[in-house]
Structure 1
Amino acid sequence: NHILLPSGYVEEWWALELEKSIKSFDKIDEKVEDFIKNPFENVPIAEEAVHLSRKFDIPLHPSYLDFWGNLTVEELDLLRNVFAKNFSVTEQEIVLDYEEPIKKILEKAFILHKIKDNKIFFSRKMNFIYKTIFNLEDKNPIKIEKGDNVFTYLYKASLLKIKNKAPYFMGSRMGRPEKSQRKSMKGVHGLFP
């Protein structure tokens, strides 16, 4: 009688949504069918993931999702503004000056980054993803309304569906089995017919 927690958005869900949405199309590329048959081995590159998301009106592939649900809308808006300010159109790259509040937001969303010479760098594929989902070429601010959450904010920015990669976290506590004492039991331990 325990309430089941919703699953995070994973490759299996993405493949099922892709399979459902391609039924209305006559001719499907063989590569798209491979994404459905084996979603763990056949992962689209960043550009393909965005293209598939737009063409078939499905959420972005989970490989390119960060833990956006960990952030507030205000933190996400701050991050987008910093990304937009530091996005180089010619280089197609985001390079941020090291700032502690931004670093904390990146860590909170588990965004992979490197720090070198007091600058924050991202991988090339994620530069493309961030440019797309934050619509960095448009410097206008995103209008935040009262009921917005981070996923509606991202949809307003990019018109891409972004799902929650991990809506819940569960922790566990591990003991030290090497330190446990021998348990002596009295009486019958098992019955044999």
Structure 2
Amino acid sequence: MTVLQGFIAAGTQLRLGLPGKGGVVLPVDSIEPPVVRLKNGDVVRVSSENAREINERIEKILFLGDLLISFGDFLYSSKPLSPSGYVEEWWSQELKETVSTKFKGDYAAVAETTKISLERIKRLVEKPFSCKPTAKEALALSLTLNIPLHPAYTFFWENLDSIKEFLTLRRWMLDSEVETEEDRETVRRVSGVFNAEVKEMLERICVPHKIVGDKIVISGDDAHVFAFCLGRHVSEPLSELNSSFNGSVLEFIRKVCGVEVRVKAPTVVGARMGRPEKAKKRAMKPPVHVLFPVGMAGGAQRNLVVAASKGEPVFVELVKRKCPA
């Protein structure tokens, strides 16, 4: 909502392309966030921490973020359930199933196999939204347990038009300056010469990067996964594989790096603002005369008595508005 310059707010009625007539929307910070291009050319993944900081510098929205629609909306409107992108709870269920089938539920054996702590493995299964693996952990889990790459490190590879574009990105990566950690395998930074074609493809697959002088710089976990998926660890040329391959880009990536990468956004939903004046009055039950600014200290009912009974200071956010006219 912030990247749309406040055009929509919590409670705005949207008319959706599917599954039904529309509904009221609310912000969610646990699903896939927007990806934007700033005026200086940087591509940034938006979060609640940086949204206000970069808001005035956004030049283009590359991806507006995921939209969470309940199954009941499809059921109510008798519409076929549209395919979902690969998301965290889906990944955690596949991890859980692998632990159950291949290791007979023995999480200790999984921890020993993947070199990831037992507590960490359990948290990844039980709390997929709040606990996310690092790039090294995600790749270790995919390589050892044969599960798809974690959604947090899945770029929009399906947006590439052909394997030729994939190979163009790979050549650029191999020609770039690659900084690694002491193990020489974990990539921390990819810095390559600015190329308009490469820049456009990076934006299309939503890889966060910065423009530093005449360089395109990808850093951190994004750099490690980006280089891995492009086959930095593969020494053999891919020309022979490409000439005999008839599959998709995602299938080609699996052939190259040995890890399955799922589709990030198989369904795109169009939306427009509804007619606010047609919305019915939403009355509180029971009806109230005054709302006291006590925040959550007064519970869901914003009860002044409950807030006072706690005997603690109450902090609220107040806005001072002035008519510019």
Task: Return the TM-score normalized by structure 2.
Answer: 0.51
C-alpha contact 1:89 1:137 (8 A) present in aligned 2? no
- Structure 1 runs not aligned, ≥5 long: 183-193
Structure 1 stretch displaced more, 136-145 or 13-22: 136-145
Residue in 2 aligned with 1:70?
Answer: 159
- Label 1:90 to 1:56 Cα distance change in 2 as closer, same or farther (>3 A): closer
SS of the aligned residue for 2:271 comes to coil
**Retained in 2: the 8 A contact 1:154–1:162?**
yes
Distance 1:176 1:100 in 2: 41
Q: Is the 8 A contact 1:81 1:141 kept in 2?
A: no
AA paired with 1:41? Answer: S
In the alignment, residue 66 of structure 1 is paired with which amino acid? F
> Which portions of structure 1, spanning 4 or more consecutive aligned residues, are displaced by more than 6 angstroms?
none
Read off the aligned partner of 1:44 and give its amino acid letter.
P
Equivalence for 1:16: 93
Q: CA deviation at 1:81?
A: 1.7
In structure 1, the residue matched to 2:119 is 30
| Alpha-carbon shift at residue 146 of structure 1 (Å) | 4.5
| Partner SS state of residue 262, structure 2 | coil
Q: What is the Cα deviation at residue 22 of structure 1? A: 0.7
Confirm or deny: 8 A CA contact 2:176 2:190 kept in the other structure.
yes
Identity %: 33
- Aligned to 1:43, the other structure's residue is in SS state coil
Q: Secondary structure at the match of 1:170?
A: coil
Greater strand fraction, Structure 1 or Structure 2: 2
How many aligned positions are there?
180
* CA–CA distance in structure 2, aligned partners of residues 89 and 121 of structure 1: 11
Structure 1 residues 1-193: aligned runs within 5 Å? 1-23=78-100, 24-25=102-103, 26=106, 27=108, 28=110, 29-72=118-161, 73-88=163-178, 92=187, 93-142=189-238, 143-144=241-242, 145-174=244-273, 177=276
1:17-40 deviation per Cα after TM superposition (whole angstroms, max 9, x unaligned): 000001122334221111010001
SS of equivalent residue, structure 2 residue 272:
coil
Inter-partner Cα distance in structure 2 for 1:47 and 1:153: 22
- 1:96 is paired with a residue of what secondary structure? strand
Q: 1:2 to 1:173 in 2, by over 3 A?
A: same
Report deviation, 1:87: 4.6
For the aligned residue pairs, the C-alpha RMSD in angstroms reads 2.2
Write the deviation string for residues 19-72 of structure 1: whole angstroms up to 9, x where unpaired: 000112233422111101000111011101100111111001100011111112
2:190–2:219 Cα contact (<8 Å) kept: no
Q: Give the aligned partner of residue 188 of structure 1.
A: none
Compute the displacement of 1:89 (Å): 6.0
- SS of 1:66 mapped into structure 2: coil
- TM-score (ref. length: structure 1): 0.84
Q: Larger helix proportion, structure 1 or 2?
A: 1
Match of 1:190 in 2: none
> Which residue of 1 is the match for residue 55 of structure 2?
none
Deviates more, 1:72-81 or 1:148-157: 72-81
Q: Report the alpha carbon displacement of residue 85 of structure 1 after superposing the two structures with TM.
A: 1.9
